[in-house]
Amino acid sequence: MLTSCISEDCRYTQQLQQQQEQQQEQQQQEQQQVAAATPTAAATAAATAAADLILFDSAPAADAAGTKAGFVATAEIQKATDKQVQQQQQMQQQQQMQQQQHMQQQQQMQQQQPQRQQQQPQQQQKMQQQQQMQQQQQQPQQQ
């Protein structure tokens, strides 16, 4: 953040933005880790399947092992994909909640600002009344 803030509202908004940026970076890193793990899981399953094929001499057994390996690889890919989809959904839900909270906080801040502005004129009126009373008290003494 380049801008500097004096008011509490402004500082609070800045803190919110920084927290959101940090969370987004963290979520991106997690996504990249899952994406990197997905091909690895599939490759491991394929390598296991290939190893199973080498162990069997007969053609029917090799076919069965190949089919099994295909199922295993598909299942691994499906697991990784499901996990990725689940994480994306969680991220979207978190972002929506953060946006809603931010909106609510902004509304509260906007509601508070008019109240503060109303208080200032009232305080000024009180000050003026006090000054007038002091002046009136001084005038009879001068006469």
In a domain, 135, yes or no: no
Give the domain extent around 56: 38-90
Residue 69, CA atoms < 13 Å, CB-side half-sphere: 19
In a domain, 53, yes or no: yes
How far apart are alpha carbons 128 and 120 in whole angstroms?
12
In a domain, 18, yes or no: no
In a domain, 57, yes or no: yes
In a domain, 50, yes or no: yes
Instruction: Please say whether the beta carbons of 37 and 53 come within 8 A.
Output: no
In a domain, 43, yes or no: yes
pLDDT of residue 123: 74
The pTM of this model reads 0.32
In a domain, 66, yes or no: yes
Q: Cβ atoms within 10 A of the Cβ of 102, count?
A: 14
Average pLDDT over residues 123-139: 75
Q: What does the pLDDT look like over 54-113, one tens digit per residue?
A: 555 555 665 666 677 777 778 888 888 888 888 889 988 988 898 888 888 888 777 776
- Total domains present in the chain: 1
Instruction: Please say whether the beta carbons of 62 and 51 come within 8 A.
Output: no
In a domain, 99, yes or no: no
